[in-house]
């Protein structure tokens, strides 16, 4: 008989375990699952292409985001991290998958870009190395793979590392277009994330209510030959932490 729960982190870890049997979950051996996902670099996965998100490019060109330091959460093969570095940011990038980080480092070497890549859980040991403050925290597809209780961890990380006046920029599955639309309660009953969670504008505004919405729109659908990545089934959201 175990009675080991005594902290919030203990509760979060216990809830992580509920999703452990599911192959598409954040928890359990998620690093192993994502390693398998990234192992075949020739798979026809749109975001394997070495090009940045169209919304990130647009927001930088419009001057909506700026600053000196950036964090890329769930960086994958590093396409957005490299773009931010090329635009003059000092970039930290973190991902669970050693395969993804290895691929990202190769791309950085080829491009001559300087990025500090960290392999591990952004809410665990890897996250402890994220010192901040960051002027931009970019999350392209990490957020919608989190189980509901890990939104708490996501918000706590933002609270710790996002600079006053800094921006959270993210893309995530749009309800009605892509992703699972089960309620949070039903997700725990099924113990699955069903490939990723869909969000409505209202749910995103509620979750990030402590930040100021700058823009929330659907990502523009970019053709295959575009220099930018874009899929219309994703939200592109930009939120600002106010200076107090």
Model pLDDT, residue 27: 44
Judge whether 211 and 239 are in contact, CB under 8 Å. yes
Q: Positive or negative CA dihedral for 32, 16, 91, 207?
A: positive
The CA distance from 72 to 33, in Å, is 20
Radius of gyration of the chain, Cα coordinates, nearest whole angstrom: 17
Per-residue CA distances from 29 to 121, 192, 195, 239 (Å): 11, 14, 15, 31
List strand residue ranges (DSSP E) for 113-222, in order.
Answer: 115-119, 134-140, 162-173, 212-218
Rounded-to-integer distance, Cα 62 and Cα 175, Å: 27
Closest to 65 measured CA to CA, from 244, 227, 215: 215
Q: In whole angstroms, what is the distance from residue 208 CA to residue 205 CA?
A: 5
Domains of the chain: 8-240 (3.40.50.150)
- 127, containing H or E segment: helix 125-128
Q: Find the Cα–Cα–Cα–Cα dihedral 221, 223, 229, 232, rounded to 10°.
A: 20
Element holding 80 (H helix, E strand): helix 79-86
pLDDT in single tens digits along all 244 residues of the chain? 778 899 999 999 889 888 865 544 444 567 777 888 888 888 888 888 899 999 999 999 999 999 999 999 999 999 999 999 999 999 999 999 999 999 999 999 999 999 999 999 999 878 889 988 999 999 999 999 999 999 999 999 999 999 999 999 999 999 999 999 999 999 999 988 999 999 999 999 999 999 999 999 999 999 999 999 999 999 999 999 998 7
Strand partners, 119: 95
Per-residue confidence (pLDDT) for residue 102, from 0 to 100: 96
């Amino acid at each position: 008989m175990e009675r080991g729960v005594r902290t919030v982190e203990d509760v979060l870890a216990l809830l992580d375990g509920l999703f452990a049997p599911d192959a598409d979950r954040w928890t359990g051996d998620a690093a192993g699952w994502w390693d398998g996902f990234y192992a075949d670099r020739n798979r026809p996965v749109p975001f394997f292409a070495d090009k940045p998100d169209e919304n990130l490019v647009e927001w930088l060109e419009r001057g909506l985001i700026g600053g000196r330091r950036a964090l890329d959460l769930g960086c994958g093969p590093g396409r957005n991290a490299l773009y931010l570095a090329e635009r003059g940011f000092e970039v930290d990038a973190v991902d669970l998958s050693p395969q993804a980080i290895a691929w990202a480092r190769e791309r950085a070497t080829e491009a001559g870009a300087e990025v500090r890549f960290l392999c591990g859980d952004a809410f665990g040991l890897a996250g402890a190395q994220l010192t901040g403050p960051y002027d931009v925290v970019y999350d392209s597809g990490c957020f919608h793979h989190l189980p509901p209780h890990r939104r708490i961890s996501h918000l706590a990380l933002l609270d710790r590392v996002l600079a006053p006046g800094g921006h959270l920029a993210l893309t995530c599955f749009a309800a009605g277009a892509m992703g699972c639309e089960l309620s949070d309660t039903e997700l725990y009953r099924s113990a699955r994330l069903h490939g990723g969670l869909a969000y409505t504008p209202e749910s995103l505004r509620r979750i990030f209510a402590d930040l100021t919405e700058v823009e929330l729109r659907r990502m523009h659908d970019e053709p295959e030959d575009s220099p930018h990545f874009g899929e219309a089934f994703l939200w592109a959201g930009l939120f600002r932490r106010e200076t107090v």
